[in-house]
Structure 1
Amino acid sequence: MVTTAALTGLTVLSLTLAPVGPAPVRWRATPLTVDALPELVYVAHRGGAREVPENSMAGLVTARARGTAQVLDVDTRELADGTLVAMHDATLDRTTYTAGRVGELTSAGWNAVRLRTGPELPTGFRPQRPPTVAAVLDRFGGRAVLILEAKDPHGLHRLAGLIKERGLTRSVLVNSNRPEVARRAHRLGLIAQLWRSARQMRSDRPERWRGFVRVLDVDHRARDKDLLRAVRSGVPHVWAHTVNTPRRRDRALRLGCDGIITDAPGLLDRVPEGASGRHAAGGNSAGGAPAPR
């Protein structure tokens, strides 16, 4: 059952923010593709969830305008009527003013959902409707490389249809934690990305996936030897998640990762690679329980 909290004087914002930080990326007139990405890639995880409301249209617009990440990452889930929407959790409780399971909503119910804002985010963001996947593709398709994580793998054919009908098969990575889903995505003509936790990486044999996975998305907390095994697996690209301090970024790069998936692209942009120094927060705690991506 889905229940909605009462909201008084709620405004939905069509938000345009001035760019913060470096000048925006000069996007190409032709569709931007995975093949055109630089040698070192930064990904705004859930749009940059420490700096903007996660999986929100305003957050994605802001992340792209700032130019601190070349790839925008969005989670996808399926509603009861088959509509694909941008949402990480299976429930609405954590990130919206609504409670209940995402998969029990129809499109009409989705239109009433509003994303929470909080004191931990920059000012200027107001409650807003979370977007559909179609809206994200229409807004950014071909203008930014996207990662769409298929949280509900049974909706993979619908996701493939949305990507293909817009001619974006070379501009979108389809992500999953499950190798069989990555294989299905590859067979559907999509670019497959596979993420793995530190615990999974202890027994993984990533060389088995090099025939159908373009990007292996690895937990930065993994042991050195597990990260090195991933880098040497023959999978074309290995990106580390979810990296939110310069020190952890520098370790991942030192071990050979060629991409950094982060909730804080603006923070990492302010500290050059290799210059995290003794003042950088945190350190590495290899192994441990899987963290949700």
Structure 2
Amino acid sequence: MTTHPYLAPGFTALAHRGFSLDGLENSMRAFEDAVALGYRYVETDAHGTRDGVAVALHDASLDRTTDARGDVADLPWSEVRTARIGGIEPVPLLEDLLGTWPDLRVNIDVKAVSGIVPIADAIERTASHDRVCIASFSTRRREATVRRLSRAVATSAGTSEAVAYFSQGAVGLPVRRALRRVDALQVPRRAGRATVLTARHVRAAHAADTLVHVWTINDPAEMSELIDMGVDGLVSDRADLLKELLVSRGLWE
């Protein structure tokens, strides 16, 4: 298995967009609440503003989660910083998330081309290479971000790599070539109504020295099924329930 420092030994529990039951996802308060629960890993998406500032926010637009409107990539930071998540919390700078908790591992999904340079710059300025994993649906975006960094970070498979993994692994073919450039697979269990992740897939990834993290799992029964299947980590909106289950199973680090 990979030896990158981001992927510490033990089961990986990732708090999806931090932890909030009050509609404050991806706010500093949500990340703080995840840390207060004892989480070592959080997940965030990131975008770049028009003037090249990296923000930790899931959507390309401010419309759904904040009291403002407009696409982040079309707005300067001076406008984005006035938006309030849930009408309360400011949109965080990615650099603040990386810098506030020096031991926190952060899974960063590069959501758009506009985020590539600002995200890489934030990682460089905070020297957080050892505790960052770069993910993206686009392999090109992920690799473009990684190329701008002075030191290696952990990486997660893009859509094209995941599709090859699912199709080859389903029929028992080796998947090492499909996963040769990543440390982890961060994948859904289902595509639409179809269950696509099987125990055979997990075994195939492990044979290729690749970890398997599954998103976004909020039901404790399904969490248990996936742990029994042998996955290496879970991404959840319900960080409270995931912690409770892992504690009960002796897997909480």
Q: Which residue pairs with 2:193 in the alignment? A: none
**1:269 paired residue among 230, 243, 248:** 243
Aligned AA for 1:41? Answer: T
Aligned AA for 2:202? Answer: L
Q: Which residue pairs with 1:3 in the alignment? A: none
Kept in 2: contact 1:182–1:212 (CA 8 A): no
TM-score, normalising length: structure 1: 0.70
**1:61 paired residue among 14, 32, 39:** 32
| Larger helix proportion of the pair | 2
Deviation at 1:225, TM superposition (A): 5.8
Aligned AA for 1:193? Answer: S
**2:157 paired residue among 168, 183, 194:** 194
Measured against aligned partners, the alpha-carbon deviations of 1:154-184 in whole angstroms (never above 9, x if no partner) come to 4323322221232211111111112333344
Q: 1:93 to 1:226 in 2, by over 3 A?
A: farther
Q: 1:171 to 1:52 in 2, by over 3 A?
A: farther
Q: Which residue pairs with 2:51 in the alignment? A: 81
Cα distance in 2 for residues equivalent to 1:48 and 1:227: 29
Residue segments in structure 2 that go unaligned for 5+ positions in a row? 170-174, 191-195
Kept in 2: contact 1:209–1:235 (CA 8 A): no
TM-score, normalising length: structure 2: 0.80
| Aligned 1:207-222 pairs, distance under 5 A | 207-221=176-190, 222=196
Aligned AA for 2:94? Answer: V
The root-mean-square deviation of aligned C-alpha atoms, in Å, is 2.6
Measured against aligned partners, the alpha-carbon deviations of 1:81-108 in whole angstroms (never above 9, x if no partner) come to 1111111111111101112212121111
Cα distance in 1 for residues equivalent to 2:247 and 2:208: 25
Cα distance in 1 for residues equivalent to 2:31 and 2:19: 8
Q: Which residue pairs with 1:240 in the alignment? A: 214
SS where residue 90 of structure 1 aligns? coil
Identity of aligned residues (%): 25
Cα distance in 1 for residues equivalent to 2:54 and 2:103: 21
Q: Alignment length, in residue pairs?
A: 230
Residue segments in structure 1 that go unaligned for 5+ positions in a row? 1-32, 118-126, 276-293
Cα distance in 2 for residues equivalent to 1:274 and 1:204: 35
Kept in 1: contact 2:154–2:182 (CA 8 A): yes
| Aligned 1:160-171 pairs, distance under 5 A | 160-171=120-131
SS where residue 217 of structure 1 aligns? strand
Larger radius of gyration: 1
**Residues 1:98 and 2:64 aligned together:** no
Q: 1:178 to 1:99 in 2, by over 3 A?
A: same
Measured against aligned partners, the alpha-carbon deviations of 1:125-182 in whole angstroms (never above 9, x if no partner) come to xx01111111111212x32111111111343233222212322111111111123333
Aligned AA for 1:34? Answer: Y
Cα distance in 1 for residues equivalent to 2:154 and 2:246: 30
Q: Which residue pairs with 2:78 in the alignment? A: 108
Deviation at 1:42, TM superposition (A): 0.3
Measured against aligned partners, the alpha-carbon deviations of 1:205-232 in whole angstroms (never above 9, x if no partner) come to 7533433211110112224267436534
Q: Which residue pairs with 2:6 in the alignment? A: 34
Q: Which residue pairs with 1:122 in the alignment? A: none
SS where residue 85 of structure 1 aligns? strand
Cα distance in 1 for residues equivalent to 2:200 and 2:49: 37
Q: 1:153 to 1:208 in 2, by over 3 A?
A: farther
Cα distance in 2 for residues equivalent to 1:246 and 1:195: 27
Q: 1:137 to 1:273 in 2, by over 3 A?
A: closer
Aligned AA for 1:192? Answer: T
**2:167 paired residue among 203, 211, 217:** 203
Deviation at 1:264, TM superposition (A): 0.5
**Residues 1:179 and 2:149 aligned together:** no
Deviation at 1:195, TM superposition (A): 5.3
**Residues 1:159 and 2:119 aligned together:** yes
Cα distance in 2 for residues equivalent to 1:226 and 1:202: 10
Cα distance in 2 for residues equivalent to 1:154 and 1:112: 20
SS where residue 194 of structure 1 aligns? coil
Q: 1:128 to 1:272 in 2, by over 3 A?
A: closer
**Residues 1:145 and 2:114 aligned together:** no
Cα distance in 2 for residues equivalent to 1:153 and 1:90: 11
Cα distance in 2 for residues equivalent to 1:184 and 1:229: 30
